Structure 1
Amino acid sequence: MLPLLTDELLLDAYRSALRMRLDRDFVRMLHSEIRRRKLSVPEDRVI
């Protein structure tokens, strides 16, 4: 879990991770946290 990140920072990190094609496990971790917080997943695509 990433409790120290605000929702907006989490979403920004997710978008940046996708854009920079970072490690899939890292992107999945961010995606899981977004879903846990019941946020809309930006640029949702199969990872």
Structure 2
Amino acid sequence: MLPLLTDELLLDAYRSALRMQLDREFVRLLRTEIRRRKLSVPEERFA
């Protein structure tokens, strides 16, 4: 889905999207990719 992003950049983008309260669908897309890569989903306290 998002193969050009490194794992670290993907996680940073996810945290930033939560912090900035971006569109829920965009946040869901990032979270789906994080899970697809079997990474730990960061805490969602901003969601």
Q: TM-score, normalized by length of structure 2?
A: 0.92
Moved over 6 A (4+): none
1:37 is aligned to: 37
Return the offset for 1:13. Answer: 0.1
Return the offset for 1:43. Answer: 1.0
Query: Structure 2: how far apart are the matches of 1:44 and 1:6?
Result: 20
Query: What fraction of aligned residue pairs are identical, expressed as a percent?
Result: 85
The CA RMSD over aligned residues, in Å, is 1.2
